[in-house]
Amino acid sequence: AQSVTQLGSHVSVSEGALVLLRCNYSSSVPPYLFWYVQYPNQGLQLLLKYTSAATLVKGINGFEAEFKKSETSFHLTKPSAHMSDAAEYFCAVGYTGGGNKLTFGTGTQLKVEL
Amino acid sequence: GAVVSQHPSRVICKSGTSVKIECRSLDFQATTMFWYRQFPKQSLMLMATSNEGSKATYEQGVEKDKFLINHASLTLSTLTVTSAHPEDSSFYICSARWQETQYFGPGTRLLVL
């Protein structure tokens, strides 16, 4: 069975500050890991994904995440927050052979303040 | 690339009527599509997996006769909410799988009066 834990349902940062959104996973097989962003009343947009290649993954809009097997983590970071980054962020885990079904975390609402 | 569309984006219907939602992969073929439901301020709940040319696989607790899924082509899956009731009001999101990744549609807001 797989699970995802996102620590912090709400995170607030100042514009220009570091963004750190935490994601820990549990998987009995090598996982695929994803970060998606959702703006109000919209679907999910893929930010980045880890599929067993490089452990440091760069995504769109300046985001990146590092897969750390020893810590079972896949935290999302961005060096400098922008107002347009305010949204809901979801971490998800899947694996080959699992029908490509994803298990989602509960989401983290990112607020960016001036 | 990997664009998924949904139609309609918003629908209001009367209780007892049926509503069909379309999910299309615009620039790739998808043998597998997924249907999710999302309640306000909550995460996504997988309802079913739609496989082209075969019956959908429903998650536990999801009524297959209530939520009819058809995946008739490699670019189109439909979800029909039959005899809709107010408790079916929700945000429905589809995704299509391509290269081990799910790409999501923009969602459909259903309001049943």
* Rounded distance between C-alpha atoms, residue A94 and residue B92, angstroms: 21
Q: Is the pLDDT of residue B12 over 70?
A: yes
Using one digit for the tens of pLDDT, what is the confidence trace for B13-51? Answer: 999 999 999 999 999 999 999 999 998 888 899 999 998
* Rounded distance between C-alpha atoms, residue A89 and residue A76, angstroms: 9
Beta strands in B1-113 (DSSP E): 4-7, 10-13, 19-25, 32-38, 44-51, 57-58, 67-73, 76-81, 90-98, 101-104, 108-112
Q: Taking CB atoms and an 8 Å limit, are B100 and A41 in contact across chains?
A: no
* Rounded distance between C-alpha atoms, residue A20 and residue B112, angstroms: 39
Residues of B in contact with A36 (CB under 8 A): 104
The pLDDT of residue A83: 96
The pLDDT of residue A51: 87
Q: Taking CB atoms and an 8 Å limit, are A43 and B4 in contact across chains?
A: yes
Q: Taking CB atoms and an 8 Å limit, are B49 and A101 in contact across chains?
A: yes
From first to last of the 114 residues of chain A, give the pLDDT tens digit.
789 999 999 999 999 999 999 999 998 888 899 999 999 888 999 999 998 778 999 999 999 999 999 999 999 999 999 999 999 999 999 877 666 789 999 999 999 999
Residues of B in contact with A41 (CB under 8 A): 91, 107, 109
The pLDDT of residue B70: 93
Q: Which of B57, B95, B106 sits opposite A42 (nearest CB)?
A: B106
Best residue of A4, A44, A45, A52 to probe chain B, by most B CBs closer than 10 Å: A44
CB atoms inside a 10 Å sphere around CB A104: 22
